[in-house]
Structure 1
Amino acid sequence: MGLIIPKCNADPRTLDLTLKIYYDANDWVENSILIDRLSAYLISEGIEDVKKEPQSYTKKTQVLSYYGLIEWEDESNNQSRRRITENGKKLYQYREKKDLMSVLSLLIDILTNKTFGRNVLGCDSDSDLEAPNIFLKSCLMIKDLTNKEFGFILGKMEFEKMELADALFQVVLLRSKGLVVQPDLAAAKWSDPKPILALADWGLFTVTKQGMSKIYNVNKIVIDSFGDRLNALRTKNTDVQHIPIRNKLWEEEAFSYLQSPFRPYITAIKSKPFLLLAGISGTGKSRIVRELARACWDEDSIEYKAQKPKNFEMIQVKPNWHDSTELMGYISRISGKPIFVAGDFLKFIVKAWENIDVPYFLCLDEMNLAPVEQYFAEFLSVIESRKRNDDGNVITDPIIKPEFEINKDSETKQIKTWYSKLIKELLAECPLEKVFALTKEFEEYGISIPQNLIVIGTVNMDETTFSFSRKVLDRAMTIEMNEVDLYAGLDRNYECIGKLKSDMLIGTAVEGVDVYADNEEVCNKVLSYLQAVNDVLNGTPFKIAYRTRNEFLLYVVNNLPYNVNDKGNELSEDEVIAIALDEITSMKILSRIEGDDTKIKHSLLEGLITTIEAQLLILTGEEKKIESISVAKLKEMKERLTLSGYTSFWS
């Protein structure tokens, strides 16, 4: 089924091995026997090294008691013995057979029929709330639910007697304002509850780490198969059974940011953190980069009010740049000893490493005043090495490799002096608590591109500038900025973007495979569109391959949450897909088409127009037909080819 069961705080085998003891006994099990057998199992499986304190094994039992998978003997006998229940036997058998769908169905039956909360025998719980049910219903309503948000919701329900729908709305409203939810102390115990993490071990939802927080999401296969049953789970302290994902108030308040005209920039960055902003002079290309950086901070913060936030750097490209020394730096031997003189770009890379949870924006102003392939070669190579590691973080090859030398006496390697001094210089202003970890990282692996670094080049295409090779265009997302509204910005700041959270900009998906399993139906629609377009491009140098395919998939998936238009009307999923496909067609396909009438025929442009219109119409239907920016651009390019015998994407 493609279901991924994550590894949480505890190895999921611990719960399975505990059930095995009860299952094999099929009768009451003494506490001392449980401890001895479970300890032996855990040590033989390599889960633990030595036998632990007795209470640690009792705690492992509590989760199973919580869900009614084992039962305790009557209190009069000091609760010294326990045995497996019928549900416990079923769960063990299903887990042994790796029958995941039966496991999920059984768990949902338990959640539906069992009462959780206060006085569950053998469990530490003084709450009247059915936390597992509230948790799952919250996950269905809110994507990427954090442990703090869950604690906040439970606190609102238990101590303020708030309905679940109202508590959920409070979270969404705080999110839209860019505020971090802070649960009160009484609810803090729910920020990492073991009974709920057990549901992740059994496959009901996924857990990922983001900084100090845990992020929870119900597995797509669970939603597809059991969504209605989960949404109907009862919860104490509220009569709400089915909660609409959004009501009118949610749309007007909490989701207003979805209507932002900056959505294409935001989702393009999340898909590939390398953008080209092209257009006539004076349209505010470099200013938008600065305002995107500013939008990452709260309005009352020092950085938001600063002329230049610390997460923004502008570097003016010079016409005489023909290598990377101005950006990256160079080794100087004037003093007789090698000394590395760091460039501004390298310094900014390290600053981004020091604040990995904040998006950092580098603006290369007038990027094509010099040949990009010459002064930016290292970055263009390294950006293509991006991949997601086992922790879910995006890593790259080093842009500055570590330098070693051999100690002749011991034949051991040690860091070269100039490289060691460079690291110390670059980390001179780094907070002390981060210096050691970053020094070790740079010495062992070199200095690579952090996943929070976003590079945006501004481009004016005229006779004084260099054109872009396909190598550059293939690696970047290109957005045109030629529209000018002369009435804009007179009554308010035109580039007022609103608060941007880091997860809106920093993507953890790098390739199509990272999003395909969870979005198979959507991705197949994208692939069908791409295949039709590629059939037209077949036999030309503009035919697309895997890199572009991956970026199409990422861009469309990243746009799925943005399903409210500028009039506040909700869009269907197919409409969102069509709009995103149209935008990225312009960014990634049309930007590469350039040449005279011996290379580009009218029939090619006409074929693209016809195919794109037809494919978008399949998604939206005639009644909801979108105004295609890629078709409009193709018509402009076709007219240019007719008039001058030459055409390109660039105006």
Structure 2
Amino acid sequence: MDNNIVNKRKKRPDSWVDMNSDDKSFLGRKRVDYSTFDKGTTIPERYHKVFLDNLSEEVTKGKQVKIKLFFKDKEYNAVIRWPNSKDRKGVTIQLLYSNKALKELLQNKLSVSYDYIMNYLKDTGKKPVNIPDEYSEYIDFFKGDKPNNFIINLINKDNITIEDEEPEDDLYEDLESEDEFAAITNINSEIDFIHNYISSKGFYYSKDLITNLYLSLKTKPFAILSGISGTGKSKVIELFSEAVGANRGNGRFRLISVRPDWSDATDLLGYRNIENKFVPGIIIDIANEAMKKPDKPYFLCLDEMNLARVEYYFSDILSVMETRKISDEGIITQKLINRAQFGRDEAAYGWYGDVYIPQNLYIVGTVNMDETTFPFSKKVLDRANTIEFNKVNLTYNFEETEVQELSTKKFHNDFLKSEYLNLSQCKHEKNIALKVIDKLIEINNILEKYQQHFAYRVRDEIVFYVIYAVRDDLFSFEKAMDFSIVQKILPKIGGSGGEVLDILIKLFNNLNDSDYESEGYLDDIQIKAMEKQCENSKYKLSSEKIIFMIRRFQRDGFTTFWQ
């Protein structure tokens, strides 16, 4: 292929094989290594021209172009990029992918190399620098029928005849470009930036909502976004992720559509296939990636989370979340998968056996509540902040829609990382903590009479939320408590008994210093008076939600938090 390769000598040994070919669409042959099975490959300089000439646009520093890889007419998404790193000299071009199906294909079709690499990693704790000839397998790259399309051919040991191979070079570090993180001096200003970034994309959410999302994720890396269809629940988390530097292109944001037939955790954690090889699940895959880059936040959005019963497929992950503790690696959990689940697949155990939920992985579920979905158990609601998206403003101002788009920033994970796991760690903020606890005791005394009270987990997480909000001047104490009550306490209240109405009225009285009473019924005059009182309430969100639940009880004979 003399007419294809730029005539440059190799500056150092690498894993690409220079060879002649009569096929004018042939681009190059890559010997697979650790990085090939994990995320992609760095393209040597002498191959830059033939790959870049097949793109529809120029790749400049910090930019990437989406491409498609085809194997036997099956299509996989990938990107070609030039990473933006101030420490990297010269031009670095990388071909990267995060597609789970493609990775599984490579592992299965090129299993000789894959098994050697995994066994070497398990035995030595290191990635192999050189793969012996008897274990070497290859990927051939060809131009597709149009720009941005590439065809790959996988060459396993059964049909390989290669001579004059170059020594293997460990390219994995080339894929780990270190971006310069934004300097954070004021949390409020950074939330302003995130809000403005989202608005610049043509989507409007209130700043309070963005602040609340930030505080909820910082309190605990699991949140639920609920509301009617079309309010932008999955979009807000995608744009929030983009604003802090995590997107689909770099693999740090992933949106997964929950399937109605999910009845266990295999799609999330993994399973052994018919060949007894372990196939990693969605969370194992992204958690494994996040563990390698602890300074960078990763986001997983489970869309339509309650199309299946959440307790069936997510309970194992929830249980692991509750094992969070502080270690030398930061905040970690126990391992997601036990040894027995790998069977005899030693290679997969060497790769995924130690995977846990790292402190830089944030999981957000979106839910709609209608006849096609399942309700949540208290176990799930106890472990998340439930953020509502039900208020819709259909007005549109064409004069204000042309907003200059903002570039993303690269945020260090410290911006979102939890600072507290136990109440004892909040001693230096004890004045705020004790004020929160006093209010929660009042509320719990009401709930306990009806066996609806909460326990230490809810108390602690509300304390953490309010401390972050007040300390960084994001919300006032009452506003932070208001969000916490509506997100951590009210979602678990519901039913058809008369005690439910009593709870709601007493909670309203506690939050508004009022003295409404009922004997199983409130007339419309009383409810309208409560609504009038809401307008100036310190706990407006909670009071409005309570009135909504009361009206529903009056109308239907039962009530629930969900709309």
TM-score of the alignment, normalized to the shorter chain, above 0.5:
yes
**Are the structure 2 counterparts of residues 626 and 258 from structure 1 closer, same or farther at C-alpha, using a change threshold of 3 Å?**
farther
Name the structure 1 match of 2:316: 378
Aligned residues: 351
* SS state at 2:495 partner: strand
Contact map agreement 1:359 1:502 (CA 8 A) in 2: yes
CA drift of 1:512 comes to 1.8
CA drift of 1:450 comes to 0.5
Name the structure 2 match of 1:269: 217
Residues in 2 aligned to 1:251 and 1:450: alpha-carbon distance in whole angstroms: 23
Residues in 2 aligned to 1:462 and 1:489: alpha-carbon distance in whole angstroms: 31
The superposition leaves residues 450-491 of structure 1 with CA deviations (integer Å, 9 ceiling, x where unpaired) of 011111000000111000011111111110011123346961
Name the structure 1 match of 2:506: 607
* SS state at 2:296 partner: coil
Residues in 1 aligned to 2:559 and 2:278: alpha-carbon distance in whole angstroms: 45
Of residues 410, 423, 433, the one that matches 1:512 is 423
CA drift of 1:627 comes to 5.5
Q: Does 1:347 align with 2:295?
A: no
Q: Does 1:323 align with 2:264?
A: yes
**Are the structure 2 counterparts of residues 422 and 281 from structure 1 closer, same or farther at C-alpha, using a change threshold of 3 Å?**
same
Residues in 2 aligned to 1:264 and 1:560: alpha-carbon distance in whole angstroms: 12
Q: Does 1:503 align with 2:414?
A: yes
**Are the structure 2 counterparts of residues 541 and 369 from structure 1 closer, same or farther at C-alpha, using a change threshold of 3 Å?**
farther
Residues in 1 aligned to 2:403 and 2:221: alpha-carbon distance in whole angstroms: 25
Q: Does 1:645 align with 2:557?
A: yes
Read off the aligned partner of 1:586 and give its amino acid letter: V
Name the structure 1 match of 2:497: 597
**Are the structure 2 counterparts of residues 530 and 319 from structure 1 closer, same or farther at C-alpha, using a change threshold of 3 Å?**
same
The superposition leaves residues 589-637 of structure 1 with CA deviations (integer Å, 9 ceiling, x where unpaired) of 0011121135x4322111001112249xxxxxx9996361011100110
Residues in 1 aligned to 2:487 and 2:283: alpha-carbon distance in whole angstroms: 25
Of residues 355, 372, 379, the one that matches 1:447 is 355
Computing the radius of gyration from Cα coordinates, the structure with the larger value is: 1
CA drift of 1:283 comes to 0.6
Residues in 2 aligned to 1:505 and 1:392: alpha-carbon distance in whole angstroms: 16
**Are the structure 2 counterparts of residues 623 and 416 from structure 1 closer, same or farther at C-alpha, using a change threshold of 3 Å?**
closer
Q: Does 1:418 align with 2:345?
A: yes
Q: Does 1:463 align with 2:371?
A: yes
CA drift of 1:398 comes to 1.1
**Are the structure 2 counterparts of residues 581 and 419 from structure 1 closer, same or farther at C-alpha, using a change threshold of 3 Å?**
farther
Of residues 560, 568, 578, the one that matches 2:470 is 560
* SS state at 2:419 partner: coil
Gaps (5+ residues) in structure 1?
1-179, 183-210, 214-245, 298-302, 405-414, 427-441, 565-574, 616-621
The superposition leaves residues 543-602 of structure 1 with CA deviations (integer Å, 9 ceiling, x where unpaired) of 0110001101110111124426xxxxxxxxxx711111110101100011121135x432
**Are the structure 2 counterparts of residues 308 and 626 from structure 1 closer, same or farther at C-alpha, using a change threshold of 3 Å?**
farther
Gaps (5+ residues) in structure 2?
1-84, 88-177, 196-206, 515-533
TM-score w.r.t. length of structure 1: 0.49
Residues in 1 aligned to 2:383 and 2:397: alpha-carbon distance in whole angstroms: 33
**Are the structure 2 counterparts of residues 497 and 373 from structure 1 closer, same or farther at C-alpha, using a change threshold of 3 Å?**
farther
CA drift of 1:643 comes to 0.7
**Are the structure 2 counterparts of residues 524 and 275 from structure 1 closer, same or farther at C-alpha, using a change threshold of 3 Å?**
same
Residues in 2 aligned to 1:323 and 1:495: alpha-carbon distance in whole angstroms: 42
Residues in 2 aligned to 1:479 and 1:640: alpha-carbon distance in whole angstroms: 20
Read off the aligned partner of 2:500 and give its amino acid letter: K
**Are the structure 2 counterparts of residues 636 and 495 from structure 1 closer, same or farther at C-alpha, using a change threshold of 3 Å?**
farther
Read off the aligned partner of 2:467 and give its amino acid letter: V
Of residues 213, 219, 232, the one that matches 1:284 is 232
Name the structure 1 match of 2:60: none
Name the structure 1 match of 2:25: none
The superposition leaves residues 74-128 of structure 1 with CA deviations (integer Å, 9 ceiling, x where unpaired) of xxxxxxxxxxxxxxxxxxxxxxxxxxxxxxxxxxxxxxxxxxxxxxxxxxxxxxx
Contact map agreement 1:293 1:309 (CA 8 A) in 2: no
CA drift of 1:361 comes to 0.7
Residues in 1 aligned to 2:553 and 2:489: alpha-carbon distance in whole angstroms: 17
CA drift of 1:644 comes to 0.5
Name the structure 2 match of 1:295: 243
Contact map agreement 2:270 2:284 (CA 8 A) in 1: yes
Give matches, 1:620-639, under 5 Å.
626=538, 628-639=540-551
Q: Does 1:529 align with 2:439?
A: yes
* SS state at 1:315 partner: strand
- Regions of 4+ moved over 4 Å: 250-259, 492-501, 622-625
Name the structure 1 match of 2:523: none
* SS state at 1:541 partner: coil
Read off the aligned partner of 1:339 and give its amino acid letter: K
**Are the structure 2 counterparts of residues 586 and 496 from structure 1 closer, same or farther at C-alpha, using a change threshold of 3 Å?**
farther
Percent identical across equivalent pairs? 34
Of residues 349, 357, 367, the one that matches 2:295 is 357
Residues in 1 aligned to 2:406 and 2:232: alpha-carbon distance in whole angstroms: 12
* SS state at 1:648 partner: coil
TM-score w.r.t. length of structure 2: 0.57
Name the structure 2 match of 1:242: none
CA drift of 1:254 comes to 8.1
Q: Does 1:393 align with 2:393?
A: no
Name the structure 2 match of 1:579: 479
Contact map agreement 1:511 1:554 (CA 8 A) in 2: no
Q: How large is the RMSD of aligned CA atoms in angstroms?
A: 3.5
CA drift of 1:494 comes to 12
CA drift of 1:271 comes to 0.3
CA drift of 1:501 comes to 4.7
* SS state at 1:646 partner: coil
Residues in 2 aligned to 1:419 and 1:519: alpha-carbon distance in whole angstroms: 48
Read off the aligned partner of 1:644 and give its amino acid letter: D
CA drift of 1:251 comes to 12
**Are the structure 2 counterparts of residues 473 and 419 from structure 1 closer, same or farther at C-alpha, using a change threshold of 3 Å?**
farther
Contact map agreement 1:291 1:495 (CA 8 A) in 2: no
Name the structure 2 match of 1:313: 254
Read off the aligned partner of 1:507 and give its amino acid letter: S
Residues in 2 aligned to 1:503 and 1:291: alpha-carbon distance in whole angstroms: 19
Contact map agreement 1:473 1:588 (CA 8 A) in 2: yes
